[in-house]
Structure 1
Amino acid sequence: MGKGFFINKTVGIVGIVLAAGAIATIIALSVVYSQEKSKNNENEVKPTGAVTTPVPTTEPSNEPWDQWRLPQTLSPQTYNVTLWPRLQPDATGLYIFRGLSSVVFRCVEKTNLILIHSNKLNMTLQPTLTALGSKPAPIIESIVMHTKTQYMAIHLKDELTAGESYELYTEFVGELADDLGGFYRSEYYENGVKKVVATTQMQATDARKAFPCFDEPAMKAVFHITLYHDPATVALSNGEIALKVNITVDDTFVTRTTFAPTEVMSTYLLAFIVSDFGFIEQNIDKLQIRIFARQEAINAGQGEYALSVTGTILKFFEDYYNVPYPLPKSDQIALPDFNAGAMENWGLITYRETALLYDEEISSNGNKERIVTIIAHELAHQWFGNLVTIRWWNDLWLNEGFASYVEYLGADKAEPTWNIKDLIVLNDVHRVFAIDALASSHPLSSKEEEIQRPEQISEVFDTISYSKGASVLRMLSDFLTETVFTQGLQTYLDHFKFNNTVYTDLWEHLQRAVDSSTSTPPRSVQDIMDRWVLQMGFPVVTINTETGQITQEHFLLDPETKPDRPSEFNYEWFVPISWTKKEAAQPLYWLFDDNWVLANINVTGYYRVNYDNENWERLLNVLQTSRQSIPVINRAQIIDDAFNLAKAGIIETTLALRTTLFLASETEYMPWESALDNLDYFYLMFDRTEVYGPMQTYVGNKVEGLFDYFTRLTNWENLPPGHTDQYNQVNALRVACSTGLEACTTLVKTWFEQWMENPNVNPIKANLRSAVYCSAIAAGGEKEWNFAWEMFEKATVASEKDKLRAAMACATEPWLLNRYLKYTLDSNKIRKQDATSTIISIASNVVGQPLAWDFVRANWEYIFKQYGGGSFSFSNLINGITKRFSTEFELQQLIQFRDDNAHIGFGSGTLAIQQSIERTTANIKWVKKNQETVLEWFINPL
């Protein structure tokens, strides 16, 4: 194998190497929240004797309160925040929280304006300003609430003095809503009793919904948190409990829990929770590790797996970063309602239940992998993201891409027999290629001015930031070597701890590590990586084995489209090339022979590879005759590259289809998964056409051997020995049943009928449940669906509920699917956190797709307002319901949907609308060009 950089557009291979203490009491407020909402319905709060300034009603001006970014005139230092969430509704049926907060800030530049974020909070007392220096504080002239930009603007009669510190005190009341953002409530039932949890999700811009604050990541401060709560509940926050006392406030007996001050940190990492959860714990080298969850889940042992791997992963990252874990505790908590998968709050990480809780009898191997990788992801953030934080959200990719890369390293340490690091190719590299090959993709890092509004910030929490970020950082680590990469990373973290950075700061420290090593890339780290970070997309590298020539070009699924963004680099990249040959003893830089050549070994590079026709034929032959001579990851790569090159019109579609011929004898997971992922596109395009029947026959013939293999190996009663073998067992069952293999359908129907006859004893193995449930419900009717719904409502393990919820979308009766769609608007039936994924599951069903599309169009305004324009789920929802679109009629419907709802907006799904239009346009062209050829090939595969 050789390694080097391809620098120009056309070269030959030459072997280049390449705050104050916590507040004591909270003032009892006599005004209920509903009255406050009515009283403060106007746009301002008028202090006694102040001159009021109304909110402007004209177009946005250049005034600072009309800008989305805070001015750099003030710098927060410490906060004292006291909150009292009410876990019972008031007389009007609302859940509220009351609070008071003081923030000490330093005046950096003289100003007569204090801008501080405040969203959906009603001030119940006139804010006060106190000077902490020798000069008195200016008098507050007026206070104006700017709802659009979410500021409380405090206008002063005189200017603040540069270099002096001041304290701003506020009292407020807010709604403890079920909107999954800021300080919100989560509800569940335990033993028939309704329980309420007060919890938080601050990222990216919702700390301002909990208390007035300077809500930007660079505005770091120390936080002193105090919570009032019922004595039967437990309060948690980022810091350890410093003091816990029972007192009486306003005739109410409560517990006041005061927490130790935090380290200097950003507002989006704050967390505070009140619940009656249980927990389990262990101490490792004086570090307290705790897992919190519903008491029923803790009693059932569902937190044990998370507890068993957390210490191992934490210690791994301490060594990897060469920085001790910076806090005295690590709490992790599973919440019944949580919009994201997990959130890396410093010292108090929050999770969906499915991302933290594992049941040995009910949860699958996939559930277990998800838990260990998400824990590793969030623990990685405790240093990279929390200790050292991006300056602004345009560099979010650095936070999330890095954690998405090293989560595989941390999980591998916890589960070393799984070979989990290989799965980044399927889960991230191949996944993001599909998005980054669109002309409407975007660079990893944008300019700060392009990411301003909350919905724009939410929009960058996408596949590009996570999966492309992970892919290019993995590539960087590979060509620099892991030793050099970690050396640079360690000095970066040590230099910038408790501070903020931009991505080029990491390049600088990696460059220092390169300079002190024997590694000599042809350009600086920044020169190389800016091309991957500042321009969208990626290259396809074409190797001509007859001439030894290599070329690169920007890979687009539809080559007739033009990128939305010009590139100063002209869409050229520095590409690290690695390759192997049949005759490994020969010099690797000579390609002028008759042996096959394979590039991008183990897919460490973020690019696709094309070859001359002769080399493609040689690779197809070796797959058929001696596939083991090609690494298993590259067998998956050959399939994925070929199918996508064919979609772009670079090679023939029949050549791509021929890469699946060897599957009849393949038993490894990665090639099978790659093939099924790519054939899924053919199903999306053709499952409403005459191609469907021959395609089903072909896929069924190929999977029959895999089904027989697992029948002999496990008899469907045992688990295969390997981690990915367990996944492939699921593939064998799922695909065999979906293509109508009688032995499979009989097996599935028997299991499901046995369960229906005895609901208390589920005979279906945990790993197989998703596939069995879907197949049985698809083959059944109302009886099977209603049974699944009953089991869904009774399930106490979140992963089991998820399997049933997805499987119910497999029904083939339209009326059942329409009823299910209506359930998604009722949070008593389908939790808000699960609504969009349920709609997407229904849209994935060929019967359900038009129903889901009609449903979303009819209810868009309600969905958008109910779930919030900043929801991370909107891009997934739009992409999910339109991925099957492949006709002019569907394209026009999509464009009409965009235009009809422009006045409502699409929030974080704005870019997804454009991507869906582009993808539909490409689908139309592809189907028109390929349908007849594909039909003929499936009838007579060669």
Structure 2
Amino acid sequence: MAKGFFISKAVAVAFVVAAAGAVATIIALSVVYAQEKSRNEPTAPVTAAPNTSTTVSTTTSGPKEPWQRYRLPDSLAPVSYNVTLWPRLKPNADGLFIYTGNSTVVFRCVKETDLIIIHSNKLNLTTFEDKHAKLNGLNGATAPALKTTWLETPTQYLVIQLKSRLQAGSSYELFTEFVGELSDDLGGFYRSEYEEDGVEKVVATTQMQPTDARKAFPCFDEPAMKAVFHMTLIHPQGTVALSNAMNHDPVNITVDGQDLIQTRFQPTEIMSTYLLAFIVCDFSYIRSDPAAKTLIRIWARRKATEEGQGDYALQKTGPILTFFEGYYNSSYPLDKSDQIALPDFSAGAMENWGLITYRETSLLYDPAVSSNGDKEWVATVISHELAHMWFGNLVTMRWWNDLWLNEGFATYVSYLGVNYTEPTWNMRDLIVMNEILGVMAVDALASSHPLSSKEEDVLRPEHINELFDSITYSKGAAVLRMLSEFITETVFSKGLHTYLEEFKYKNTVYTDLWKHLQMAVNDNSIKLPQPVEVIMNRWILQMGFPVVTINTQTGKITQKHFLLDPDSTVDRPSEFNYEWYVPITWINTGRIEKQHWLLEKEEVNKDIILGAGEWLVANINMTGFYRVNYDSENWDRLLAKLSSKHEDIPVINRAQIIDDAFNLARAKMVNTTLALRTTKFLHKDVEYMPWQTASHNLNYFFLMFDRSEVYGPMQAYLKKQVTPLFDYFKGLTLNWTRIPEKHTDQYNQVNAISLACRTGVEACNSLTTGWFKEWMENPDNNTISPNLKSTVYCSAIAAGGKKEWDFAWSMYKNATIATEANKLMYALSCTKEPWLLNRYLKYCLDPNEIRKQDASSTMVSIAKNPIGQPLAWDFIRANWGRIFNDYGGGSLSFGRLIDGVTKRFSTEFEYKQLLQFKEDNAEQLGSAATSLEQALERTKANINWVALNKEQVFEWFNNEASSPV
């Protein structure tokens, strides 16, 4: 994400021996935990803090006490942790899964203080003489006596007041003992359950990013608080323990008559708490060649490993690691790379240093069942996480306000890593489709946000969680790609090398990166109109991006902040007044590429003035993060060129022309009929990118009009356009008996069948329902191509009824391969039977039917169905309290739930419902707060757009549907 200090070996060994002896003591704490489980929050103070309040101040002056602030004081710095944990993989008498443990953190006093503040959340701490911890001095230092301790619930702290002061420069160690719950909330130290060979099994695993390490054990849980971790896990016989570092040989121990295993791990590198991972499971693994420099292991459920589902990941991990070592000019910092596929995982993957955790769909691949899209996803996620091993793990952002430095960078270079290991996939171009076009729609909202915020604006855990969005990942990738392009990739990678060398095992802010890239620019005599920092700050410190308008008659080039709804109010100030330094590239009729830096709001460049019959297209291969508008004459010439010889315009720019036109139309900068005209050439084009972009943009028309009279003629027009594409792929695949060779052709075959079935091409519907019927008649022999399964399943279930739905549900419940289960889970939302959709919605809140990790995405899939959308919205409103509390108000997918369920909203009634929802749940929005604001803004824009465009859109589709191709 996903995501030098030292303690002597003698001290570590001594601690482990002592910890083993303490295990019997901490068993008794499980009883305490069971008694306190009824409480939803940590225990109240054992000894109340004198003259203090345990609530966070809401006065304008801000919190008065250090423990009321969400950032740790700068008085202490952790050096190392010794942590011993014993997870129970079976429930206790009260039905709870618990773990017991203790932790000793060695820290250095930086500034004299009589206060220790350390994060602790949802842990029941043992008390020693009414105190929550023990304190010792090291290296001759005397530890002050503890005056009082308490748990500060709002800020998630264990607070320790001392009777005298800690001395600056001295080192101390703090010991805590605790019980926690291995709940199924997918955060901190949690449990994942699955069934194998009829046996229910439990995995104890972790997800710490961004602020959940404190749920596992007390720690200084901020990214800049790096330390060395010495981990010890106690676990049942027949299981294996994993952590970031390599383990020492496990030893058998006996505690209260139980035969257990104790696994101790080598000390980690100096690292942040959010990168810590530890797992107890009975998985098996495959590994790299013993002669390889780095040990690579792919862990998964035993059946998945036996079936070879980890083979592709193992095959690609080594080459991708090699690529990044060359790209960064820096050796992989660790001696092993474990990657593990988990049945339950909230994110796609997490870059824990040395032990990367994945959803099964992000790591496992079965060529007999998984599609080429599944394969690309696995390769891309692996590449993304491996990129973090240097950029994020070795060098880490100082605070979460610069999360984009981690995630935007890893997103960008993940495409380079996959391109290296799968060179025929054209991944350098696919980043445009997968990341850039989608995030431009988000960043064009007035409720968007800059890539980098001020530290003081990102304090609470829910605020941090909000940053894990498409702006951080996809826009971050887009602007870094743009930067790499205009300074050249070679210079970009050289700057990264010196950046990593200077700051390894440390923390940075974005200006550190600009500094090193500028050094590389200077060393290689790259000429820029402004320094790197001056150019790039405009792209990361203000939200949004420009639309560049080029007038080919006068040579005038202008820029302005592009807003999808031009009537929206931008209330976020910008020191740059929403102006950018824009690297403009273009080609004209002669296909000669030219460049221009737009540094002002308006400039003139005579090179763009065209002669009669000439055309110009700007932003070649969409390397710049901006939209382009033209004078009407050039628009007409571009459309004429697309109609006569579309191949003269690069394929990415054909997609860009479509996407720009549709978005410019929504912003009222061009007529909507102009945007629709950009799709008329498609009956002759067989490339994936233009078709995918058109399909994506026309989907907005489906969302706005599939409940109105516009739908009929729109469907007729699209049927006319897609039929030649459907026939093309029928011929290319020899009547659907072969898989296209080209990666993007495989994608476009899916577009052809999906859109053909959606618009009523008779041969398509009979094809998909026939394939599905054959499978129903012989469930053990599914001959449907893996690439086409999602489309075929959806089409057949939409055309069928209860029989088809129940069959698909049965196949979903029995699926042993996660990618197959995902396809069926999506397709089940395609039914047109309201009662089946309502039943499916209820399943979403039953973890025995739909895993918690999949609940929000399933509800969004149901809402994409025009019949399911109002059902899903009613269901979510009726069950919001339960969804928020049981499914994690702070989870990373929570905001996407609101976003996905409200995309169709386009009436005043729906807008008022959203406002009412906001009012009713003001205290229960968590990480969905930003998404709700964006949904309100988008709904208002949709209302205005439909009112303005419905009549002319209806007329245009009517005319075009009846006219010859």
Give the 5 Å matches for 1:159-170.
159-170=165-176
Give yes or no for contact 1:843–1:852 (8 Å, CA) kept in 2: yes
Aligned to 2:919: 899
Q: 1:583 aligns to what SS in structure 2?
A: coil
Moved more, 418-427 or 677-686: 418-427
Aligned to 2:102: 100
The one-character-per-residue Cα deviations of 1:222-270 (angstroms, maximum 9, x if unpaired) are 0000000012000000000123111112221111000000000000000
Partner Cα separation in structure 2 for residue 585 and residue 523 of structure 1: 26
Give yes or no for contact 1:36–1:124 (8 Å, CA) kept in 2: no
Aligned to 1:56: 54
Aligned to 1:7: none
Structure 1 pair 87–52 and aligned structure 2 pair: CA distance change class (3 A): farther
Structure 1 pair 765–592 and aligned structure 2 pair: CA distance change class (3 A): closer
Structure 1 pair 586–139 and aligned structure 2 pair: CA distance change class (3 A): closer
Percent of aligned pairs sharing the same letter: 62
Partner Cα separation in structure 2 for residue 56 and residue 247 of structure 1: 42
Give the 5 Å matches for 1:513-912.
513-584=520-591, 589-594=607-612, 595-714=614-733, 715-903=735-923, 905-912=924-931
Q: 1:716 aligns to what SS in structure 2?
A: coil
Aligned to 1:194: 200
Q: 2:248 aligns to what SS in structure 1?
A: strand
Aligned to 1:254: 260
Asked if 1:73 corresponds to 2:75, the answer is yes
Give yes or no for contact 2:481–2:623 (8 Å, CA) kept in 1: yes
Q: 2:23 aligns with which of 18, 24, 27?
A: 27
Q: 1:21 aligns to what SS in structure 2?
A: helix
Q: 2:250 aligns to what SS in structure 1?
A: strand
Give yes or no for contact 2:34–2:94 (8 Å, CA) kept in 1: no
Give yes or no for contact 2:411–2:473 (8 Å, CA) kept in 1: yes
Moved more, 256-265 or 588-597: 588-597
Q: 2:525 aligns to what SS in structure 1?
A: coil
Moved more, 870-879 or 837-846: 870-879
The one-character-per-residue Cα deviations of 1:161-195 (angstroms, maximum 9, x if unpaired) are 01100000111010000000000000000000000
The one-character-per-residue Cα deviations of 1:540-593 (angstroms, maximum 9, x if unpaired) are 000000011100000001111121301110100000000001124698835232
Partner Cα separation in structure 1 for residue 275 and residue 593 of structure 2: 55
Give yes or no for contact 2:57–2:68 (8 Å, CA) kept in 1: no
Runs of 4+ in 1 over 2 A off after TM superposition: 29-47, 50-61, 283-286, 584-592
Cα drift, residue 56 of structure 1:
2.9
Q: 1:98 aligns to what SS in structure 2?
A: strand
Aligned to 1:361: 368
Aligned to 2:88: 86
Structure 1 pair 499–57 and aligned structure 2 pair: CA distance change class (3 A): closer
Aligned to 1:38: 35
Q: 1:159 aligns to what SS in structure 2?
A: strand
Partner Cα separation in structure 2 for residue 443 and residue 79 of structure 1: 36
Cα drift, residue 804 of structure 1:
0.2
Q: 2:847 aligns to what SS in structure 1?
A: coil
Aligned to 2:500: 493
Structure 1 pair 580–552 and aligned structure 2 pair: CA distance change class (3 A): same
Q: Give the residue type in structure 1 aligned to 2:657.
A: I
Aligned to 1:338: 345
TM-score, with structure 1 as normaliser? 0.96
Q: Give the residue type in structure 2 aligned to 1:33.
A: S
Q: Give the residue type in structure 1 aligned to 2:72.
A: L
Give yes or no for contact 2:55–2:154 (8 Å, CA) kept in 1: no
Aligned to 1:299: 306
Q: 2:423 aligns to what SS in structure 1?
A: coil
Q: 1:302 aligns to what SS in structure 2?
A: coil
Give yes or no for contact 1:32–1:90 (8 Å, CA) kept in 2: no
Q: Give the residue type in structure 1 aligned to 2:939.
A: T
Q: Give the residue type in structure 2 aligned to 1:232.
A: G
Q: Give the residue type in structure 2 aligned to 1:592.
A: L
Asked if 1:280 corresponds to 2:300, the answer is no
Q: Give the residue type in structure 2 aligned to 1:907.
A: G
Q: Give the residue type in structure 2 aligned to 1:763.
A: T
Give yes or no for contact 1:44–1:143 (8 Å, CA) kept in 2: no
Cα drift, residue 52 of structure 1:
7.7
Q: 1:940 aligns to what SS in structure 2?
A: helix
The one-character-per-residue Cα deviations of 1:593-629 (angstroms, maximum 9, x if unpaired) are 2310010000000000000000000000111111111
Partner Cα separation in structure 2 for residue 188 and residue 568 of structure 1: 52
Structure 1 pair 597–188 and aligned structure 2 pair: CA distance change class (3 A): same
Give yes or no for contact 1:736–1:744 (8 Å, CA) kept in 2: yes
Structure 1 pair 59–570 and aligned structure 2 pair: CA distance change class (3 A): closer
Give the 5 Å matches for 1:304-343.
304-343=311-350
Q: Give the residue type in structure 2 aligned to 1:181.
A: G
CA RMSD of aligned residues (A): 1.4
Asked if 1:231 corresponds to 2:237, the answer is yes
Give yes or no for contact 2:231–2:265 (8 Å, CA) kept in 1: yes
Structure 1 pair 585–484 and aligned structure 2 pair: CA distance change class (3 A): closer
Moved more, 385-394 or 234-243: 234-243
TM-score, with structure 2 as normaliser? 0.94
Partner Cα separation in structure 2 for residue 430 and residue 551 of structure 1: 22
Aligned to 2:945: 926
Q: Give the residue type in structure 2 aligned to 1:129.
A: L
Aligned to 1:184: 190
Q: Give the residue type in structure 2 aligned to 1:860.
A: W
Aligned to 1:243: 249
Q: Which 5+ residue runs of structure 2 have no aligned equivalent? A: 1-6, 596-606
Q: 1:558 aligns to what SS in structure 2?
A: coil
Q: Give the residue type in structure 2 aligned to 1:526.
A: E
Cα drift, residue 720 of structure 1:
0.5
Cα drift, residue 716 of structure 1:
1.1
Give yes or no for contact 2:396–2:508 (8 Å, CA) kept in 1: yes
Partner Cα separation in structure 1 for residue 628 and residue 914 of structure 2: 33
Give yes or no for contact 1:291–1:306 (8 Å, CA) kept in 2: yes
Aligned to 1:4: none
Aligned to 1:348: 355
* Highest RCO, 1 vs 2 (Cα 8 Å, sep ≥ 6): 1
Structure 1 pair 877–58 and aligned structure 2 pair: CA distance change class (3 A): closer
Cα drift, residue 43 of structure 1:
3.8
Structure 1 pair 585–888 and aligned structure 2 pair: CA distance change class (3 A): closer
Partner Cα separation in structure 2 for residue 199 and residue 30 of structure 1: 20
Partner Cα separation in structure 2 for residue 572 and residue 586 of structure 1: 25
Give yes or no for contact 2:54–2:68 (8 Å, CA) kept in 1: no
Q: 1:457 aligns to what SS in structure 2?
A: helix
Cα drift, residue 57 of structure 1:
5.2
Q: Give the residue type in structure 1 aligned to 2:205.
A: T
Q: 2:879 aligns to what SS in structure 1?
A: helix
Partner Cα separation in structure 1 for residue 801 and residue 341 of structure 2: 35
Give yes or no for contact 1:412–1:420 (8 Å, CA) kept in 2: yes
Aligned to 1:155: 161
Partner Cα separation in structure 1 for residue 178 and residue 51 of structure 2: 21
Q: Give the residue type in structure 1 aligned to 2:766.
A: T
Cα drift, residue 730 of structure 1:
0.6
Aligned to 2:602: none
Q: 1:466 aligns with which of 468, 473, 477?
A: 473
